[in-house]
Amino acid sequence: MASLILVLGDQLTETLPAIAEAKKTVDTILMAEVREEATYVKHHKKKIAFLFSAMRHFARELEKHNYNVDYVKYDDKHNQGSLLEQVKYSLDNGDFESVVVTSPGEHRLLNSFQQWESTLGVPVHICEDNRFLATPQEFSDWAEGKKQLRMEFFYREMRRKHDVLMDGKNPVGGKWNYDAQNRESMPEDHKVPKHSTFAIDEITKDVLALVESQFSDHFGDLDNFFFAVTREDALEVLNTFIEERLPNFGQYQDAMVEGKPWMYHSHIGFYLNCGLLTPKEAIESAEQAYHSGQVPLNSAEGFIRQILGWREYIRGFYWYFMPGLKTDNYFNNQRDLPNFYWDAQTNMNCMRQCIKETKQNAYAHHIQRLMVIGNFSLLTELSPEQVQAWYLSVYADAYEWVELPNVAGMILYSDGGNLASKPYVASGSYINKMSNYCKNCGYQVSKKTGPKACPFNYLYWHFIDKNKDKLSNNHRMAMILKTYGRMKEDNINAMKEDAAAFLTKITKNEEV
């Protein structure tokens, strides 16, 4: 008897057990572009186009390898609108004894899958996702009993376990982490290599027309579609990065430059998170480039840490703290997102640039997400639920398992410090140091108060003042709180007044 194998849009990996163990002449692989998954948040147009095109190309490859594939397009008359209803339809119209799925990357979907057996009346087998280098149980075992779950120590365990950049029992170079060497701003005359782009084929043309027709009210631009949509092209992105940009990646990975959204970053998060690339091959490529003398250690280690350390840690953290992580609100922030998160109409050049590039590309690099948009979101007391939904919808590499811990834990500190050792807030001086955004801003980063002052300056001290009691036991905030304690009362009051006026404008959706 045959099995019906459901493959999701972020499971485009032929070595998944659910696919690799399929009986090609008997089983059927079901893939479907369903409304429920495309619209439960209003995903960026480019994100939907990228995933639908990648899914269609992946289905074609499976067929070339003699798998039976039932692919249901978004506008197919038999499209049932949700994964469960599509599976029901397939069971009703086929001869299947069981359903096979791979464990999904979202808590809501796993909960749904776990109910399917009783709902569908056939056995439902949930396979482990073998594309990660640590299982949720492995993370849980590591986390159990610890007072602090710091990524750095989990990363070291992963380095040891997988023998990555190791010299026997010690890290290559004598240090685990070279982050201190990875925070340089970029010289004005520096030329960054062009990021990888690919010609649009007929499959992608059809998808772009579909998205323009069916998702016209979603955020984002469809122009200049650049994504790799096949494994072959995703591998080209990785290889080009290793050759052209990894040598300088470490040095400039935190830098921000107006009009240069891609910088030295790899842009492979799109392909890792949907399955066209695997973390192991990315790590091995970077490690080999270091050992061959092609790239310096700080670049190789910094890149590997993002994948073997941060990515694996975030995934384990997500499953360990769900479902509470989604509703945590440590600072009790409730303010609605301002309209300029969607149209980039603001006088703050840093926010304007990051949101505009997000709208254009469904991409921004980690410092833009964390220390510009995220920093502003926390300082202006925006609702965690709304901020989480925004990040999930606007970035093409965003799935809840990776988005939610980054936003709730790292950006908003809404989990109260389970992930981050301190709130990641900063004044305008940080943005000025790491970018050239402040040169073309409607505000002046050198001014602390007044109508022309950079809003980040007074919002930062307003945050410290308002939350000083909650922050008093955090040793990493001790120096900042000591500085605050020495400030003149008149200066504190001026900053509080400016912050109150600015926050009122945000609440009323007035121009800022």
Count helices and strands in the chain by DSSP H and E runs: 25, 7
CATH architecture, domain 2-127: 3-Layer(aba) Sandwich (3.40)
**Domains 136-195+230-321 and 340-507 in one fold:** no
Strand pairing category for 170-171 and 166-167: antiparallel
Which among 412, 335, 414, 330 is positioned nearest to 381, based on CA atoms? 335
Number of Cβ within a 10 Å radius of residue 1: 8
Architecture of domain 136-195+230-321: Alpha Horseshoe (1.25)
pLDDT given for residue 250 in this prediction: 83
Output the pLDDT for position 262: 87
Topology classification of domain 340-507: DNA Cyclobutane Dipyrimidine Photolyase, subunit A; domain 3 (1.10.579)
Angle, helix 202-214 to helix 45-64, in steps of 10 degrees: 140
User: Along the chain (512 residues), what's the average pLDDT of each consecutive run of 10 residues?
Assistant: 96 96 95 96 98 98 97 97 98 96 97 97 96 97 94 96 96 91 79 90 98 97 96 97 92 88 91 98 98 95 96 98 97 97 97 98 95 98 98 98 97 96 95 95 96 97 96 93 94 95 97 94
Locate 171 and state its tokens: 């890290």
Helices (H), 241-383: 246-252, 269-274, 279-291, 297-304, 312-321, 340-343, 349-361, 366-367, 375-379
Domain boundaries, the chain: 2-127, 136-195+230-321, 340-507
CA 452 – CA 347 distance, rounded (Å): 11
Amino acid code (one letter) for 185: S
The pLDDT, as a whole number, for residue 499 is 97
**Six-digit token string for 1:** 């008897």
Q: How far apart are CA 343 and CA 361, in angstroms?
A: 14
Q: Is the pTM of this model over 0.85?
A: yes
